[in-house]
Structure 1
């Protein structure tokens, strides 16, 4: 398994684990008044920071030289395009929520979900391309 394929696995695992942990924290802290009244900003910032740090730390632990050939470049482009399209489509939800003047909680969490889905799809496409050939 190449270094870039390992990075795609790490990115995908982090894209699943961190948002799930964030959701568990939110559900555990929800007040009786409803989920929209949850103090979400702190946990969301921690989740974003944790995802960044986990990706950096795991990437440095995996280590190895980054030698990119044409195949790696093409797979990277394909994965990033897929993530871009998912993010572009999923970003419509927070946009509509903002237009409808929904509570900030729902707008912010819809955007975080869109980012998480884009990361997950990007890494999944890269992993499939590495495994099945490109």
Structure 2
């Protein structure tokens, strides 16, 4: 019953941005991963040109997230123009908690990259360890935020 009541409440700017980030980043990660797997079938890992595929999927994900957030905000404000959709103290606390959860995965990615550097692994693996840390940090942190929005703060 409480989730039904919640869905009727207006979505804040922060919650909308969290959803927009997930909508954009998950497909971006999937595209990059498939791209690399296809290339890796025929190319040795130390010869894979990973830079432009990684940069392009990151940039595309950011652009899509911004576009989704803007369009969603316009639709939301037109549908309910009298409602205040700004962030409040609760949004900032949820963002802080979500960031704390996500940061652990960023640390794991950094540590994995350091270990790969120590064993002189190809740059492909080092870069992808860092990328995986960023991706997991963003996705898991966003999921934690959404969990807090829908289940409440502890």
Query: Which segments of structure 1 move beyond 6 Å, counting only runs of 4 or more?
Result: none
Is 2:56 the partner of 1:46? Answer: yes
Q: Report the Cα distance in structure 1 between the residues aligned to 2:110 and 2:132, rounded to whole angstroms.
A: 9
Pick aligned residue for 1:75 from 89, 94, 98: 94
In the superposition, the TM-score normalised over structure 1's length comes to: 0.90
Deviation at 1:30, TM superposition (A): 2.7
Q: Tell me, which stretches of 5 or more residues in structure 2 are unaligned? A: 1-9, 78-83
Q: Report the Cα distance in structure 1 between the residues aligned to 2:89 and 2:70, rounded to whole angstroms.
A: 23
1:29 to 1:90, Cα distance in 2 relative to 1, 3 A: closer
Deviations 1:48-89 (A, max 9, x none): 111211111111111156512211111011111111122112
In the superposition, the TM-score normalised over structure 2's length comes to: 0.79
Larger Rg belongs to: 2
Q: How does 1:10-89 map to 2 (within 5 A)?
A: 10-30=20-40, 32-63=42-73, 64=77, 66-89=85-108
Q: Tell me, which stretches of 5 or more residues in structure 1 are unaligned? A: none
Give the count of matched residue pairs.
134
Contact 2:101 2:144 in 1 (8 A): yes
Q: Report the Cα distance in structure 2 between the residues aligned to 1:129 and 1:49, rounded to whole angstroms.
A: 28
Contact 1:27 1:35 in 2 (8 A): no
RMSD (Å) for aligned C-alpha atoms? 1.7
Q: How does 1:103-118 map to 2 (within 5 A)?
A: 103-118=122-137
Q: Report the Cα distance in structure 2 between the residues aligned to 1:100 and 1:35, rounded to whole angstroms.
A: 16
